[in-house]
Amino acid sequence: MNIINMIENKQITEIRKQFPILQTNINKKPLVYLDNASTTQKPNSVINKISEYYKNYNSNIERGFHTLGSQSFEQVNKTRETVSKFINSQNSSQIIFTSGTTESINIVANGFANELNEEDIVILSELEHHSNIVPWINLCRNTNSKLEVIPILKSGELDFKFIHNIIKKRPKIIALTYASNVIGTINDIEQIIKIAHEYNIKVFIDAAQAVPHFAINVQKLDCDFLAFSSHKMYGPMGVGVLYCKEEILQNMKPLKFGGAMIEDVSFCDFKYREHPYKFEAGTMNISNIIAFNEAIEFINQIGFEVIEKYEKDLFEYLIQELQNISQIKIIGNPKNKVPLVSFIAKNMHPFDIGMMLNASGIAVRTGNHCAQPLMDKLNLSGTVRVSLSIYNTKEEIDFLVSTLKKILL
Ligand SMILES: Cc1ncc(COP(=O)(O)O)c(C=O)c1O
């Protein structure tokens, strides 16, 4: 029995029951949710934790010493500890809560504002999401530093020849996605970090599309920075993580100021607290940070061994079935992929495909996926993207494929 059948029979039905939205209908058809790279659905444990907070201990943290405030503070710290274990950081104080990957990247780019000048180079890749492009363009503009971009090969993988050459110019930072949100490419980040560190170059990793699919160990990777979003890994919206190496955190300047990040303030001066607090200005999304803990527990309970095997088999099945539709062209064919695929059809615009799938209750993403420079490189205006998660099934893929055949053939 292959892993799909084995896990599906035993666990997937139970897993699906934990997601109330998966029991709903869209356009009078059972929802088939295949837009997990945009955001995943949330299990009951996450949804219930948010209402538990508002019903039982809604309070601000670090602003008073009453019981409710202490309860919230403890729960936020619990999530910080859970995240720290999840990515194996040395210390939970290396975990900064942000509003999402985008804010995390902005904090890091801002942190380099005083370190760069016209001699310096920042490196990105053609695979990046707008969130890992625009903050760096802004930084380069403000500091007159240069931006260089690692091209991709036809397969959708990074050009390592270019990396070996550009690295000799000693850029200040390389900011890369771990996994592409358009092609699915899993970059060989470990190798890139090794090469970069030989030249003393810092590496930032955008792990937004990686964290839901495989285990990340920041100490083993030895990355300098890593960012991801809760909402793409079964957690609530409006919560993100920024991990940084200890010595970087001590020197990096915050992006936002005010609230409990302050140690001491007068009208002439101020002093901020140690990390992580100095990066957490203002009232954070406390309810959702607390519920984020449940999302990680959900992943931990299933375990990445099961998640990886199940998603890999399901994804192979999806690709095999899509390849049987003559009108479809799949974009890129990298060796290692997260379970998402972009395609175009010879005879229909991606938006029309998306709309017609939606009429059958199937949710996919269409458009440029916030990766316009990649679309330009591929000479495309957009694609249809199907992205899988642990709760998707072979039957859902069969329904997608039969609906696509009806639409396209
Ligand atoms: C690779 C990648 N980076 C960054 C982001 C931005 O994440 P957020 O909107 O949660 O900040 C996304 C969102 O799709 C993404 O796919």
Ligand 1 nearest-atom number relative to CA 231? 10
pLDDT (0 to 100) of residue 62: 75
Integer Cα distance of 43 and 268 in angstroms: 49
Give CA torsion, residues 92, 96, 97, 102, to 10 deg. Answer: -140
Helix axes 134-143, 101-111, angle to 10 degrees: 20
Stated pTM of the model: 0.97
Lowest mean pLDDT among 6-20, 232-246, 275-289, 345-359: 6-20
pLDDT in tens, 151-185: 999 999 999 999 999 999 999 999 999 999 999 99
Statement: residue 63 has pLDDT above 70: no
Statement: residue 1 has pLDDT above 60: no
Ligand 1 nearest-atom number relative to CA 99? 11
Integer Cα distance of 355 and 322 in angstroms: 18
Amino acid 144 reads: N
pLDDT in tens, 96-112: 999 999 999 999 999 99
The residues that are catalytic are 370
**Ligand 1 mean position, distance from CA 401 (Å):** 27
pLDDT (0 to 100) of residue 6: 57
Mention every residue, 6+ apart, whose C-beta is less than 8 A from residue 47: 20, 291
Cβ of 129 less than 6 Å from ligand 1: yes
Token readout for 254 is 């915050």
CA-closest residue to ligand 1 atom 16: 181
Token readout for 380 is 């495309």
Cβ of 102 less than 6 Å from ligand 1: yes
**Ligand 1 mean position, distance from CA 253 (Å):** 23
pLDDT (0 to 100) of residue 260: 87
Lowest mean pLDDT among 62-66, 216-220, 287-291, 304-308: 62-66
Integer Cα distance of 323 and 332 in angstroms: 13
Task: Supply the DSSP symbol for 151.
Answer: P
Domains of the chain: 3-39+303-408 (3.90.1150.10), 48-300 (3.40.640.10)
Name the residue among 239, 227, 153, 207 with its Cα closest to residue 338: 207
Token readout for 228 is 């991801």
